[in-house]
């Protein structure tokens, strides 16, 4: 289980709290975390990464164990 913290504007859009959890099957990668997040909260598609290229938007940051990755 992966814990994801969302900024206020994405919380509002998704209708959830600051912290959500997602489950990732197999190796945990940024792409799989975002896939799981967008599956659980489809209204977030296109907000964290581009629709077509699926590249993470520049201002989105990932932290793992307190480290900026």
User: For position 66, what pLDDT does the model report?
Assistant: 80
pTM of the model: 0.85
User: For position 39, what pLDDT does the model report?
Assistant: 94
* pLDDT beyond 80 at 7: yes
Tens digits of residue pLDDT in 16-36: 999 999 999 899 998 999 999
- pLDDT range class, residue 67, cuts 50, 70, 90: confident
Tens digits of residue pLDDT in 50-61: 888 988 888 778
Q: CA 44 → CA 17, 24, 66, 67, distances in Å?
A: 14, 17, 24, 24
């Amino acid at each position: 289980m992966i814990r994801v913290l969302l900024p206020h504007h994405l919380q509002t859009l998704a209708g959830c709290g600051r912290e959500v959890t997602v489950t990732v099957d197999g190796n945990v990668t940024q792409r799989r975390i975002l896939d799981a997040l967008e599956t659980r909260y489809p209204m977030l598609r296109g907000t964290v990464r581009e629709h077509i290229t699926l590249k993470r938007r520049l201002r989105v940051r990932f932290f793992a164990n307190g480290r900026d990755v």
